[in-house]
Chains A and B, each alone.
Chain A
Amino acid sequence: MPDTTQPLATASAPAHFLLGKSRWRPAEIVFWALALAAYFAFPRRHLLLNEIAILGLFALSLDLILGYTGIVSLGHAAFFGAGAYAAGLFAKHVFGEPVTGLVFSIGISAILGFLSSFLVLRGTDLTRLMVTLGVALVLYELANRLDWITGGSDGMLGVKIDPILGFFPFTFRGSTAYLYSLTVLFLAFLLARRVVHSPFGLSLRAVKDNRLRASSIGIAPARRIVAIYTLAAAYAGAAGALATQTTQFVSLETLDFTHSADALLVLVIGGAGYLYGGLLGAIVFKLLKDALSVASPAYWLFWMGLFLVVLVLIGRERLTGGGRALLDAVVARMPGRRR
């Protein structure tokens, strides 16, 4: 059909460049194959793998607003927690099937994200920091005070989850949980990949780089920020719902400030603005935490703080740039690579 291939063949150089960027690279396929292979390679570590997948989704959602739109948020756990509590309440009072619960939680946190997105439109970096922090604190207080619904500081107990779609029950060792979370993560990733390479995603980068210039070439920053903030909130909500459904428990910690800081740290470890940062960061973060918690579980906060300080002192860009250079070098050695 010449009509459909014609525009591609004669596409202008910039369009060609952009299309090339959105093409699947071999390293990406290897990454996802490894993620699946981990299921068979580490049958005893499915619970940890599941946590990594959930944290990866959470960091991916932060990447959408921080890495692609340049909004620094100190309260992203608000949406994670909203999704987690929504999933818990839904399973407890309405219906125990996880996929339905997941969709419900995504809806709830998307609505919350949409409403609070108007709060981050105005002001400077600092006001945004405070407003995002404030929203998370409001939700934390709410969950803490409404203890007859949420269980307060004891957390929500007695969340019973039915088999997925009626077929696959959750097991004690988390095997189903990992496959479930990995599937959701992969689908969410596909959508995110599509979004950031679309004209909409490119316009977000323009907004991040220079809001004034972006609006002078006809991009409406406000509407785009609202859209991506809502999407990111929905992603965080999905991560929260996964956490609830696979652990059958919701705690106040999902809304805690340190949880928001976790997401920032994860994203900073992996590097923001190329989608894989959150996923790679989640792997490093969880493995580090797992290893250090064996030695001294109480002082994880110290290591996390030290990590942040050192990371910034030696330069985030240098570190993640090094990681990315390594990735590029690996890709360059792969056969059948196309520029």
Chain B
Amino acid sequence: MWGWNDRRVVSVLTILFDGVAYGMLLFVLACGLVVTLGLMNFVNLAHGAFAMAGGYLTVILMTRYGVPFLVCLPIAFVATASLGAVVERTLYVPMYDRSHLDQVLFTIGLVFISVAIVHFLMGSQAQVIRLPSYLQGRFEIFGVGIGVYRLFLIAVCGVLALLLQWVLAATRFGSQLRAAVDDARVARGLGIRVSWIFALTFAFGSGLAGLGGALAAEIVGLDPTFPLKFMLYFLVVVTVGGTSGMTGPLLAALLLGMTDVMGKYLFPKFGAFIIYAVMIAVLMIRPSGLFSRIGTR
């Protein structure tokens, strides 16, 4: 079925490129969850709701107030981060030491509420944003078609990933966070303000999700069911990626993005089927993730 003529190879490279862009996007969307779910062991199914909030905020700012796209991105980040901070302080804190079942029920409830509210305010149709002209279009390098916006995505998300890894591994805040996660009681005893660190991390993760939502609106579309549709994707990034640092989730997100894009290009009939099957298979072989160290929680 596959002839090795040039055109095919080139189109495979283009698909790969799209897959990498998509995977990077998934990473930014999900990396907040790596901390709350992966490190703090809090089952937060409502992560996608923050992404949706960022996406819709961007749509509203751009279509109703004419704010330029690049200005919308930091606004989406700050707004969802503050939303995350408020929600964490008021609603999530009492849930931290509850059972997993309680956390699941609670966060599903939040997802349903957010879906209903967005549906009420914005209607059920998919929202579109008009990218500025300098982010539109495609160009070719050695015959490989490259979308400008996807290149932009890779650049932004790549920088964010490096930044995150640096914060987590090399800054004082990062080591305090790792200590708080490893053993909250001992960390508290050492004078680390654990709950403040968790709140800050949660807010930052929500902000990244909001930024991801703003970036994703063009690629995957934005409608009220967004948090439900992507719930599993986020969970995959975290569980398959493991929780020992940012490299695992990044690789998992790239793998997921490429598999999904390839599956949709090459076997459009199966749709999302492939990605679910691959996920189940991976979890069967390595229940604690592909890239996790042994003995993580």
Interface residues of A, Cβ cutoff 8 Å to B: 66, 72, 74, 119, 122-127, 129-131, 133-135, 137-138, 141-142, 144-145, 257-258, 261, 264-265, 268, 298-299, 301-302, 304-309, 311-313, 316
Contacts and interface: CB of A to CB of B under 8 A. Distances in A.
A123 B276 contact: no
Contacts of A142: 273
A312 B98 contact: yes
Contacts of B100: 72, 125-126, 129
Nearest to B228: A257
A306 B113 contact: yes
A131 B114 CA distance: 25
Q: From A125, A126, A138, A304, name the one whose CB has the most chain B CB atoms within 10 angstroms.
A: A126
Contacts of B40: none
A123 B232 CA distance: 17
Contacts of B94: 313
Nearest to A70: B101
Interface residues of B, number: 43
A74 B95 CA distance: 19
B113 A305 contact: yes
Interface string B249-260: 000000000000
Contact of A299 (B37, B106, B120): B120
A191 to B, nearest CB: 25
Interface stretch (B23-31, B126-134, B278-286): B278-286
Contact of B272 (A66, A141, A304, A312): A141
Contact of B109 (A124, A135, A257, A307): A307
A123 B288 contact: yes
B73 to A, nearest CB: 29
Contacts of A138: 273, 276-277, 280
Contacts of A119: 280, 283-284
Contacts of A122: 284, 287
Given A138-B280, A145-B273, A130 B236 contact: yes
A279 B119 CA distance: 31
Interface of B: 37, 43, 91, 94-95, 98, 100-102, 104-106, 108-117, 119-120, 228, 231-232, 235-236, 239, 269-273, 276-277, 279-280, 283-284, 287-288
Given A126-B100, A127-B287, A301-B116, A144 B276 contact: no
Nearest to B289: A127
Nearest to B37: A126
Contacts of A311: 105, 109
Contact of A137 (B110, B276, B284): B276
Q: Which of B43, B112, B287 has the most CB of A within 10 A?
A: B112
Contacts of B91: 309, 313
Contact of A134 (B104, B110, B116, B280): B280
28 contacts: A74-B104, A122-B284, A125-B100, A126-B239, A129-B104, A129-B235, A130-B239, A133-B235, A137-B232, A145-B270, A145-B271, A261-B108, A264-B105, A299-B120, A301-B115, A302-B113, A304-B112, A305-B108, A305-B112, A305-B116, A306-B109, A308-B108, A308-B109, A309-B91, A309-B113, A312-B98, A312-B105, A316-B102
Given A305-B112, A312-B109, A130 B277 contact: no
B205 to A, nearest CB: 17
B271 A305 contact: no
Contacts of A123: 283, 287-288
A137 B112 CA distance: 18
A203 to B, nearest CB: 21
A130 B235 contact: yes
Nearest to B102: A312
Contacts of A316: 102, 105
B272 A137 contact: yes
A268 B284 contact: no
Nearest to A72: B101
A312 B95 CA distance: 9
A298 B118 CA distance: 12
B43 A305 contact: no
Contacts of B110: 305, 309
B279 A134 contact: yes
Contact of B112 (A124, A130, A144, A301): A301
